[in-house]
Chains A and B, each alone.
Chain A
Amino acid sequence: DGGITQSPKYLFRKEGQNVTLSCEQNLNHDAMYWYRQDPGQGLRLIYYSQIVNDFQKGDIAEGYSVSREKKESFPLTVTSAQKNPTAFYLCASSKGQGAAGGPQHFGDGTRLSIL
């Protein structure tokens, strides 16, 4: 089945540690996105990529980094500079950018906690 796969489902980070969240899609979508969701809140955009080898900061990029070396993959690294990393992280993709790109489709998330 076509879709977006995020792994792991649960992740624990120690102080000072960087961790990487995986996001893979087989929908042949050009655009990919990372969002953060805190309890009782909507989603906030961390980073997005409209095409391979290109990505842009979203609203809350500080303490995070991404890469887009392949169309199918858009991993997110939560660095030690992110002082409040505990959240539910969601990856999404869409055919293209803007309204013409259609809706974004989401994976089932990674829940990150601090040890």
Chain B
Amino acid sequence: GESVGLHLPTLSVQEGDNSIINCAYSNSASDYFIWYKQESGKGPQFIIDIRSNMDKRQGQRVTVLLNKTVKHLSLQIAATQPGDSAVYFCAERPLLGGGADGLTFGKGTHLIIQP
């Protein structure tokens, strides 16, 4: 089954509002997490990452929160803009030396911006 998953397949928000996209993971051995944005017909674009020794990390208009107790990851986008419309994936990656060295992706959440 999926090691990493997302709670909602589609999220619709008003332009200018804040968006929160959630992700649950089950592999407690993973300690590195990444959020990607994928626009139609393109490859995933790196947004922000976080290691398990952190609870929060901020970027430009984005914040990632990690709750290791309940194995939950979230991406917050401030003041959502039309250009934020895309599918957002969370991904986890194992510690160095652990198993296959690729990312495990959830199915994604489609963020729709309402004017």
Contact = CB atoms under 8 A, between A and B. Distances in A.
Interface string A42-68: 111100101000001011000000000
Contacts of A74: none
- B interface bracket (residues with beta carbon within 8 Å of A): 20 to 34
A48 B49 CA distance: 21
B75 interface: no
Contacts of B70: none
- A interface bracket (residues with beta carbon within 8 Å of B): 20 to 34
Contact of A99 (B42, B44, B93): B93
A109 B97 contact: no
Contact of A106 (B32, B44, B96, B100): B44
Interface SS of chain B: loop
A72 to B, nearest CB: 17
A16 B51 CA distance: 45
A90 interface: yes
A22 interface: no
B106 A42 contact: yes
Nearest to B100: A58
A98 interface: yes
6 contacts: A33-B102, A43-B103, A90-B43, A98-B98, A103-B46, A106-B45
Interface of A: 4, 6, 31, 33, 35, 40-45, 48, 50, 56, 58-59, 90, 92, 97-109
Given A33-B102, A42-B4, 18 more contacts: A40-B9, A40-B108, A42-B2, A42-B105, A42-B107, A43-B44, A56-B100, A58-B100, A90-B44, A97-B101, A98-B32, A98-B93, A98-B96, A98-B98, A98-B101, A99-B94, A105-B46, A109-B43
